[in-house]
């Protein structure tokens, strides 16, 4: 299953635009108690992140009682941090060109507030827990990201 890298535009403190190519992919998330209600978002694949997590808005729409999850503190490179709450979440990756599908459940965190300014334009981070331990990933920068089911799990 292949995904293109995405060009992202940010604005610095002088309101100048800066363009970057990032490994953002389309991911579907759902509450296993409501499997027919799926939210799709663009999320950053972050090989340095131990945990996958999403914004509070996604968790609320999916009817998670966010603070009933197990709390964890996530620290970022820029010194920012955010408290998230871990829940069992359904994850879907779909190649829209071939209809190939990867689907699994794993622990994912949700914030209780918006992501800090050090994480602009993002709705989710895909890290080891919740992503890398379920799929094999090949980065072919700047063209494509390839996902395969992690066969060591079978």
pLDDT score of 123 = 84
pLDDT digits (tens, 9 = 90+) for 40-98: 999 999 999 999 999 999 999 999 999 999 999 988 766 778 899 999 999 999 998 88
Inter-residue contact 147 to 27 (CB < 8 Å): no
Give the chain's length.
154
CATH number of 2-153: 2.40.70.10
Residue spans of the domains in the chain: they are 2-153
Residue 64 CA to residue 4 CA, distance in Å, equals: 31
Inter-residue contact 63 to 31 (CB < 8 Å): yes
pLDDT score of 152 = 66
pLDDT digits (tens, 9 = 90+) for 86-107: 999 999 999 988 889 999 999 9
At residue 131, does pLDDT exceed 90?
Answer: yes
Q: What global pTM score does this model have?
A: 0.88
130, two tokens: 């919740």
Which pairs count as long-range contacts for 101-104, CB under 8 Å and 24+ apart, including other chains? 102/1, 102/134, 102/135, 102/147, 102/149, 104/134
């Amino acid at each position: 299953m292949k995904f293109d890298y995405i060009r992202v535009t940010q604005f610095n403190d002088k309101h100048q635009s800066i363009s970057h190519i990032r490994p953002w992919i389309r991911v579907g998330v759902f509450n296993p108690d409501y499997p027919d209600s799926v939210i799709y978002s663009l999320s950053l694949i972050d090989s340095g992140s131990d945990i996958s997590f999403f914004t509070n808005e996604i968790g609320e729409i999916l009817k998670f009682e966010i603070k009933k999850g197990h709390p964890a503190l996530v620290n970022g490179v820029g010194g920012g941090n955010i408290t998230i709450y871990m829940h069992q979440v359904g994850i879907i990756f779909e190649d829209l060109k071939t209809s190939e599908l990867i689907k699994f459940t794993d622990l994912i965190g949700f914030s209780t507030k918006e992501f800090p300014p050090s994480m602009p334009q993002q709705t989710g981070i895909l890290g080891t827990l919740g992503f890398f331990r379920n799929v094999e990933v090949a980065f072919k920068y700047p063209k494509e990201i390839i996902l395969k089911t992690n066969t060591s799990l079978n």
